[in-house]
Amino acid sequence: MSLSLRDLRATGLLRDANLVAGDWIEADPNTGIAVRNPADGSLIGYVPKLGRAEVAKAVKAAEEAQKTWAARTAKDRATVLRTWFDLMMAHREALAQILTLEQGKPLTEAAGEITYGASFVEWFAEEARRVYGETIPGHQPDKRILVMKQPIGVVAAITPWNFPNAMITRKAGPAFAAGCGMVLKPASQTPYSAIALAVLAERAGLPKGLFSVITGSAAQIGAEMTENPVVRKLTFTGSTEIGAMLYAQSASTIKKLGLELGGNAPFIVFDDADLDAAVEGAVIAKFRNNGQTCVCANRIYVQDGVYDAFAEKLVKAVSRLRTGNGMESGVELGPLIDESALEKVQNHVTDVVEKGGRVLAGGKPHGLGGTFYEPTVLADVTSEMAVAREETFGPVAPLFRFTEEAEAIQAANDTEFGLASYFYAQDVARIFRVSEGLEYGMVGVNTGLISTAEAPFGGVKMSGLGREGSRHGIEDFLELKYVCLGSIA
Ligand SMILES: NC(=O)C1=CN([C@@H]2O[C@H](COP(=O)(O)OP(=O)(O)OC[C@H]3O[C@@H](n4cnc5c(N)ncnc54)[C@H](OP(=O)(O)O)[C@@H]3O)[C@@H](O)[C@H]2O)C=CC1
Ligand SMILES: O=C(O)CCCC(=O)O
């Protein structure tokens, strides 16, 4: 049953406030940031518009709180994180509703994101106790070498609107597990999910000041986060453009960077693929979150012999997808996040049509109006078209044709990005050849869904630095310290 805004506020999870250095700062509607539901433009509320001073205060508080947090046993930290996870799961429905209201994705998909987001907290609560050091044989008879792993310190995080919950927990989970403090700036379009996480973190017993959530001017907050020397790591998910800018801004303080940036994922269907499975995978990889995911298939390459059959099956599957307000049951695709996202999708489709491509399904704004767009399949798409180079971030599946395996690999790699890639094939030798040939951080073979807390998520080239999730995901929040013990004879 869906709750009204009033009911959601009564749970304490929907709060028009920021948690800064352990204190809540309420929004002033006259100066705050208005947050609207992308499905109908209605006002959800206002969040504070804070800036450098509050970030500096939060960093100082995190620095203090982090010292005692890091001194606690790993098991103790894990217990607090486990409680945070339990609370997220207990409030899954309300969290999902808040997420759908501000982001637009269908409620079932939002509930899936809450489970996915919580799984990072659960996973890293478990990993906290497995941060092992090393002993290394000494280089002289009386020497012993120890390697300790210690928390990096205060971490700043900047997160996007497309996964307002999971992109936070994928960073905060390992940070807190490692013994770090965190100051978070969520996307201005989806701050309420982040604020709800702060409410639950406080209830779970995360120490005062360890976690701050600050909304406001992105430029001001970003400037303090990158220039403040106490912040030792910046972790960002978002566009390559802003990621590159933050990378440059962080140079003066030599921070460690974690960057999850844009993608341009190829999805290749070879002629030995199980076509029904490939269609199912393509629908998931392309239309998850209405195409607004950095791992969404952006270019679908189909081998000549199966091109028409695949296109026909895909059109059938896509035509069955229901678009609408994510709060309504049965809806599978929500609105696009805003007008500029709609404009980008429209421009990509127009560009394909002007350059000789065909619309097999959709191809225009949805009759619902607003930022809704019809799920679209395009044929005869070529490398000269904008969709070949740029991330569409919308419900558009462009089909490219190829004949040889090597040609598909070459085309797939012909991009500055290198995040996710997918292909469908049965031949085992081909599966190895293509997996090895794709210049990507992640490869899905005969699956359109690769994201999980157990696996290292991340990209190469302009798609970013570092890995999130898996046992590797905690390493970037740790520093190695080498201790040389002398006179051990
Ligand atoms: N890799 C991914 O997961 C994502 C990729 N993208 C790609 O980027 C495109 C644009 O999306 P968009 O939302 O504009 O992505 P942005 O990179 O602009 O936003 C991501 C985060 O960065 C913040 N930010 C923006 N400018 C600055 C700044 N100067 N200093 C510090 N932080 C800043 C945003 O804050 P604020 O919200 O306040 O502006 C938000 O929290 C999409 O169409 C898509 O192609 C987008 C989102 C996620
Ligand atoms: O960066 C993104 O777009 C979110 C990735 C979602 C996922 O983990 O699959």
Q: Which of 122, 127, 260, 468 is catalytic?
A: 260
Query: Which residue of 168, 184, 242 sits with most ligand 1 atoms within 8 Å of its CB, as the best mutation to test the pocket?
Result: 242
Give 213-236 pLDDT, tens digit per residue: 999 999 999 999 999 999 999 999
- Ligand closest to Cα of 340 equals 1
**pLDDT score at 276:** 98
Q: Are residues 312 and 269 in contact, defined by beta-carbon separation less than 8 angstroms?
A: no
Distance 159 CA to ligand 1 centre (A): 8
Distance 167 CA to ligand 2 centre (A): 7
Active site residue 260: yes
Measured CA to CA, the distance from residue 220 to residue 234 in angstroms comes to 15
- Ligand closest to Cα of 167 equals 2
What sections of 36-160 are H helices per DSSP? Answer: 52-71, 74-90, 92-103, 107-127
Considering the entire predicted model, what is its pTM?
0.98
398 phi, psi to nearest 5 deg: -90, 130
Ligand 2 atom at minimal distance to the Cα of residue 294:
3
Query: Which residue of 109, 116, 159, 163 sits with most ligand 2 atoms within 8 Å of its CB, as the best mutation to test the pocket?
Result: 163
Residue nearest to atom 25 of ligand 1 (CA): 218
**Nearest to residue 104, comparing CAs of 428, 374, 376, 323?**
323
Ligand 2 atom at minimal distance to the Cα of residue 450:
9
Ligand 2 atom at minimal distance to the Cα of residue 292:
3
Amino acid at 432: F
Distance 344 CA to ligand 2 centre (A): 20
Strand order across the beta sheet in which 256-260 lies: 23-26, 17-20, 211-213, 181-185, 154-158, 231-237, 256-260, 464-465
**pLDDT score at 489:** 82
Q: What is the end-to-end Cα distance of the chain in Å, rounded? A: 71
Distance 103 CA to ligand 1 centre (A): 14
Query: Which residue of 158, 228, 288, 348 sits with most ligand 1 atoms within 8 Å of its CB, as the best mutation to test the pocket?
Result: 158
Angle ∠(80,84,328) on CA atoms, nearest 5: 175
Give 69-116 pLDDT, tens digit per residue: 999 999 999 999 999 999 999 999 999 999 999 999 999 999 999 999
Query: Which residue of 103, 236, 421, 451 sits with most ligand 2 atoms within 8 Å of its CB, as the best mutation to test the pocket?
Result: 451
| Axis crossing angle, helix 166-178 with helix 74-90, rounded to the nearest 10 | 160
- Ligand closest to Cα of 295 equals 2
**pLDDT score at 2:** 86
Residue nearest to atom 6 of ligand 2 (CA): 293
Residue nearest to atom 1 of ligand 2 (CA): 294
Distance 395 CA to ligand 2 centre (A): 16
Taking residue 9's Cβ as centre, other Cβ atoms within 10 Å add up to 14
**pLDDT score at 389:** 97
Ligand 2 atom at minimal distance to the Cα of residue 167:
4
Q: Are residues 348 and 390 in contact, defined by beta-carbon separation less than 8 angstroms?
A: yes
Ligand 2 atom at minimal distance to the Cα of residue 163:
4
- 234 Cβ neighbours under 8 A, 6+ residues apart: 155, 156, 157, 158, 225, 226, 246, 250, 255, 256, 257, 258
Distance 305 CA to ligand 2 centre (A): 32
DSSP letter (8 states) at residue 446:
S
Amino acid at 4: S
Distance 465 CA to ligand 2 centre (A): 15
Question: Exposure string (b/e) for 208-237, b if CB count within 10 Å is 16 or more?
Answer: ebbbbbbbbeeebbbbbbbbbebbbbbbbb
Distance 136 CA to ligand 1 centre (A): 43
**pLDDT score at 220:** 98
**Nearest to residue 286, comparing CAs of 396, 368, 365?**
396
| pLDDT, one tens digit for every residue, the chain (489 residues) | 789 999 999 999 999 999 999 999 999 999 999 999 999 999 999 999 999 999 999 999 999 999 999 999 999 999 999 999 999 999 999 999 999 999 999 999 999 999 999 999 999 999 999 999 999 999 999 999 999 999 999 999 999 999 999 999 999 999 999 999 999 999 999 999 999 999 999 999 999 999 999 999 999 999 999 999 999 999 999 999 999 999 999 999 999 999 999 999 999 999 999 999 999 999 999 999 999 999 999 999 999 999 999 999 999 999 999 999 999 999 999 999 999 999 999 999 999 999 999 999 999 999 999 999 999 999 999 999 999 999 999 999 999 999 999 999 999 999 999 999 999 999 999 999 999 999 999 999 999 999 999 999 999 999 999 999 999 999 999 999 999 999 988
Q: Are residues 476 and 466 in contact, defined by beta-carbon separation less than 8 angstroms?
A: yes
Q: How far is CA 446 from CA 33, 407, 420, in A?
A: 43, 20, 13
Residue nearest to atom 24 of ligand 1 (CA): 218
Amino acid at 139: H
Taking residue 337's Cβ as centre, other Cβ atoms within 10 Å add up to 25
| Residues in contact with ligand 2 (CB, 6 Å cut-off) | 162-163, 167, 237, 260, 293-295, 451, 457
| Residues in contact with ligand 1 (CB, 6 Å cut-off) | 158-162, 185, 187-189, 218-219, 222, 237-239, 242, 260-262, 294, 391, 393
| Axis crossing angle, helix 218-227 with helix 240-249, rounded to the nearest 10 | 40
Residue nearest to atom 7 of ligand 2 (CA): 451
